[in-house]
C-alpha cells in the first residue's frame, strides 16, 4: 500500500459504515468521491465508520475493502478505523464540556416523540443529570447556517429549529455519527466531503459542531441517491444486491452512467483503463440533481 503523504490541497474520503457489502448505490458514492478527488489531483482516503458494534461486522469491513480493490479504487494512505479514535472523540467532548455545551439527557425516544415536534425542546439542558449511562447532547444556539453544496446549491438551516440540541454521545456509551464524522474529517484534514444526498440534511449540524470546535468547514458535494423503481432508496434494508466483484468493470460503467458522466469512446479493457478515463473526464456540472433510477 502506498503510505506516502497525501497532497494537502485536496483531500477527499469515502467513509462507509461496515453494516454489509457495498451495493451499486455505495459504488456511486465511492466512485464519485474518488473521481472528484482524482480530477483535482487530490488524495482519496477510506475511513471505516465502525462506532456501532451491534450493527457492524469485521466480515463487512473485509468485503468492502476487497470490493473497492476489485474495482480498482485504490486509497492513497492507510485505511482508518473509527473504533481506534476514541481518544480524539473524548478530547472533542472535553472541549465542548469546558465550554459548558454538553449536558446529559434522560428523555426517552417515546417521550420526545409524544411531543410531536422535530427539535429537542431543551428539557434536560439545565437539570445537571450525572453523565454516566446517559446520552450527551450539545447545546445549540439559534443561528442560520448557510453553505453552498457543489451540486445541490445554497442550503440554509437553523439547527436549533430543525433538530435542536442533538446527541453527540449515545448511551452505552457510543460516540454519535455527527461527532465522529466531524472530528475525523478535521483530524484527517479532509477538504472535500463527497457523499450521498441522504446526508445533505446532516451537514448543517456538522457545520455547527465544526464552529463550536473551531475546525475548518470542508467543501460539500452531495451525490444523488440511487433509488429502486418504486422510489425507495437503494440500501441493504431495501434489499439492494451486493456488488458482484467479478463484474467490476461493468459496475463502474453503471455507476459512472448513473452519475451522468460521459462514457469513453470505444470499449474499455480493464477497470484501470476506465478509471483513467473517469479521473480525466469527471464533470461536476453533469451530476444529476434528481434521484437516480436504478432499475437493473
Ligand atoms: N458512514 C456514513 C454512511 O455509510 C457516511 C458518512 C459520511 O460520508 O459522512 O452512511
Ligand atoms: Zn432530555
For ligand 1, pick from 14, 16, 19, 83 the residue to mutate: most ligand atoms within 8 Å of CB: 16
Which pLDDT belongs to residue 3?
46
Cα of 119 vs centre of ligand 2, distance in Å, is 12
Q: Which three cell numbers stand for residue 31?
A: 466512485
Cα of 131 vs centre of ligand 2, distance in Å, is 12
Q: Enumerate residues 6+ apart whose C-beta is below 8 A from 295.
A: 228, 229
- The arithmetic mean of pLDDT across residues 106-123, rounded, is 92
Within-domain flag for 91: yes
Taking only the tens place, the pLDDT of each residue in 225-280 is 888 777 787 777 777 899 999 999 999 999 999 999 999 999 999 999 999 999 99
Among the atoms of ligand 1, which is closest to the Cα of residue 185? 9
Confidence band (pLDDT; 50, 70, 90) for 8? low
Within-domain flag for 182: yes
Taking only the tens place, the pLDDT of each residue in 176-205 is 999 999 999 999 999 999 999 999 999 999
Within-domain flag for 5: no
Which pLDDT belongs to residue 295?
65
Whole-angstrom CA distances from 138 to 50, 97, 166, 167 are: 22, 9, 6, 6
Which pLDDT belongs to residue 228?
78
Residue 182 and residue 218: Cα distance in Å, rounded?
10
Which pLDDT belongs to residue 238?
76
β-pairing, 192-196 vs 219-223, is parallel
**φ and ψ of 196, to 5 deg:** -70, 150
Within-domain flag for 6: no
Among the atoms of ligand 1, which is closest to the Cα of residue 202? 9
Place of cell 483535482: 40
Within-domain flag for 96: yes
Which pLDDT belongs to residue 239?
74
Whole-angstrom CA distances from 195 to 125, 165, 219, 237, 262 are: 33, 24, 11, 19, 20
Is pLDDT of 95 > 90? yes
Of the listed ligands, the closest to the CA of 115 is 2
Is pLDDT of 2 > 50? no
DSSP of 4-25, one letter per residue? SPPPSS-EEEE----SS---HH
What value does the mean pLDDT of the chain take? 94
The neighbour count for residue 53, using CB atoms within 10 Å, is: 10
Residue 244 and residue 241: Cα distance in Å, rounded?
8
- C-alpha torsion sign, points 180, 184, 185, 186: positive
CATH number of the domain bearing residue 93: 3.40.50.620
Which pLDDT belongs to residue 198?
93
Within-domain flag for 4: no
- C-alpha torsion sign, points 81, 82, 83, 84: positive
Confidence band (pLDDT; 50, 70, 90) for 6? low
Which pLDDT belongs to residue 7?
52
The neighbour count for residue 50, using CB atoms within 10 Å, is: 21
**Residue 173: Cβ-neighbour burial (10 angstroms; 0-12, 13-18, 19+):** middle
**Residues with Cβ within 6 A of ligand 1?**
15-17, 49, 181, 195, 199
Is pLDDT of 14 > 90? yes
- The arithmetic mean of pLDDT across residues 85-89, rounded, is 98
Structurally, the chain folds into a number of domains equal to 1
Within-domain flag for 2: no
Q: Which three cell numbers stand for residue 144?
A: 442560520
Q: Which three cell numbers stand for residue 220?
A: 460539500
Within-domain flag for 198: yes
For ligand 1, pick from 15, 32, 186, 210 the residue to mutate: most ligand atoms within 8 Å of CB: 15
Q: Enumerate residues 6+ apart whose C-beta is below 8 A from 72.
A: 248, 252, 270, 271, 272, 274, 275
Is pLDDT of 5 > 60? no
Q: Is the peptide bond before 79 cis (omega within 30 degrees of 0)?
A: no
Q: Which three cell numbers stand for residue 136?
A: 450527551
Q: Which three cell numbers stand for residue 181?
A: 464524522
Domain carrying residue 157 = 11-293
Of the listed ligands, the closest to the CA of 167 is 2
Amino acid at each position: 500500500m502506498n503510505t506516502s503523504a497525501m497532497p494537502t490541497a485536496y483531500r477527499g474520503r469515502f467513509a462507509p459504515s461496515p453494516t454489509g457489502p457495498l451495493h451499486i448505490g455505495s459504488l456511486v458514492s465511492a466512485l464519485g468521491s474518488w473521481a472528484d478527488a482524482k480530477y483535482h489531483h487530490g488524495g482519496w482516503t477510506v475511513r471505516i465508520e465502525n462506532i456501532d458494534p451491534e450493527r457492524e461486522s469485521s466480515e463487512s469491513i473485509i468485503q468492502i475493502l476487497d470490493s473497492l480493490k476489485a474495482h480498482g479504487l485504490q486509497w492513497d494512505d492507510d485505511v482508518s478505523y473509527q473504533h481506534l479514535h476514541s481518544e480524539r472523540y473524548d478530547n472533542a467532548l472535553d472541549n465542548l464540556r469546558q465550554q459548558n455545551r454538553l449536558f446529559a439527557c434522560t428523555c426517552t425516544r417515546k417521550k420526545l416523540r409524544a411531543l410531536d415536534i422535530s427539535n429537542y425542546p431543551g428539557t434536560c439542558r439545565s437539570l445537571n443529570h450525572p453523565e454516566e449511562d446517559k446520552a450527551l447532547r450539545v447545546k445549540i444556539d439559534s443561528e442560520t447556517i448557510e453553505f453552498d453544496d457543489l451540486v445541490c446549491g445554497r442550503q440554509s438551516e437553523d439547527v436549533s429549529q430543525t433538530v435542536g440540541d442533538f446527541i453527540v454521545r449515545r448511551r452505552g456509551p457510543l460516540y454519535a455519527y455527527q461527532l465522529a464524522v466531524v472530528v475525523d474529517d478535521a483530524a484527517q484534514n479532509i477538504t472535500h466531503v463527497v457523499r450521498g444526498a441522504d446526508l445533505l440534511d446532516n451537514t448543517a449540524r456538522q457545520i455547527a459542531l465544526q464552529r463550536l470546535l473551531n475546525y475548518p468547514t470542508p467543501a460539500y458535494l452531495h451525490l444523488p441517491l440511487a433509488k429502486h423503481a418504486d422510489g425507495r432508496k437503494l440500501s441493504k434494508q431495501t434489499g439492494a444486491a451486493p456488488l458482484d466483484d467479478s463484474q467490476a468493470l461493468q459496475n463502474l460503467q453503471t455507476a459512472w452512467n448513473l452519475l451522468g458522466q460521459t462514457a469513453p469512446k470505444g470499449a474499455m479493457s480493464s477497470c484501470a483503463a476506465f478509471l483513467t478515463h473517469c479521473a480525466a473526464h469527471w464533470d461536476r456540472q453533469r451530476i444529476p440533481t434528481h434521484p437516480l433510477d436504478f432499475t437493473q
